[in-house]
Every structure is written in C-alpha cells, then in structure tokens.
Structure 1
Amino acid sequence: MSFLELFESYQWSAVCESFHRKTQRDVENALVRTGERTLDDFCALLSPAALPYLEEMAKRSQAITQRRFGKTLQLYAPLYLSNECQNICTYCGFSFQTPFLG
C-alpha cells in the first residue's frame, strides 16, 4: 500500500475528533507502550491532554536521539561538481534558476 493510499484510508474528521477527546490516561498509555505505536497513540501524544507530559517527552526524545546517533553534530554540505544544480531551492546560490553574476 502506498503512503497516499494509507493517508486516504483515514477518516480525518474522525481523527480530529479523537484528537480532542484524548485524556491523560490515553497519553500515559501511549508513553508506556513498547514497539510500534498506533495513530491513536500519536494523537494522544499531540493532544492538549499531553501538555503536562511535554518535559518528559522531550527528555525521552533526547535520550533516544543520543542512543541512536551519539553526542554528535551532523552537518549536510553538498559538494557540487559544477555551479549548477537541477533543484529549485530559492535560498540556494546553486539553483539553476539563480542568475549567474559573473
């Protein structure tokens, strides 16, 4: 199943209603669940009921990130072999739509 098919399979009005009906108990259940989480868990963690758990979620996120990547800083620096790129990033001087000033 493609992402689009999966996305379109949801009744988003029902998802929004579910989002606002989440309780602190739902948030706690989502936080203790191991393995794959569900869309309901995701809604619970983003719901207004999750606000008191924000600091705990931030600490968990930091711990998971450090466990996965270590305490490193990673930068992405593309190295182009020419002065022209096929992408159209408006902020980039290598974009093929950027006029040459030389």
Structure 2
Amino acid sequence: MNRDDIEAVLAVRQEKGAEIEPALVDSMARRIEETVRRRYEAEVAQRDRADKASSSGQGARVAVAITSLVLAIPLTAITAEITGLAGMLVAWIGIVLVNMAMAMRRPPQQ
C-alpha cells in the first residue's frame, strides 16, 4: 500500500462520511497485512536461496580437500624420489594453492 492508496481512502472517507469508516479501515488493514506478508515471504525465499547456495559449495570443497589428501601421499613419494625436497615442496605448494582457491571461491548463485 503506497501513499496514493492511503490518500484515496481518506478522500473516500471525506466524501462518504463516517458511516463508511469501518469498511475503509478493514480494507486498509487487509491491504497492509497482504503487503507485509508478501515482503516477509520474499525475504524468507531470498534467505532460503542464500542458505542453499552457501551449503551447495560445501560438498565440493570437502571433496577437493579429501582428494588432495589422498593424492598427496603418492605424489609426495614420487616427487621426493625423483626430484628430492625441491620437487616435493613444489607439489605441496600446488596442493595448498588448489585448496586455498577452492576455499575462497564464491558459492554459485541460484
């Protein structure tokens, strides 16, 4: 309900007199309640979408973290055997960077 609607109701009340006032008040109350309900439902829907978007990215982050740890064991052994400490450090820096990039990624918008 906006300002024009309220002004229209007040104009009707002035034209028709006090006998129509209860009906006008009921009508205004219904419209205000309807507006509040729509806004509340829109806020709840927006919050639900945000919660769903933030939780949907969690599974992917956990999967990347677990996969990184599983692959880190053989990768460490292979790089340590072939290239020594320098290769092992490069491999671990890569693992850490991948996990950091995944952790900093924004959740998908829905």
Q: TM-score, normalised by structure 2?
A: 0.23
More RCO (CA 8 Å, sep 6+)? 2
Q: TM-score, normalised by structure 1?
A: 0.25
Where is the helix percentage greater, Structure 1 or Structure 2? 2
The higher radius of gyration belongs to 2
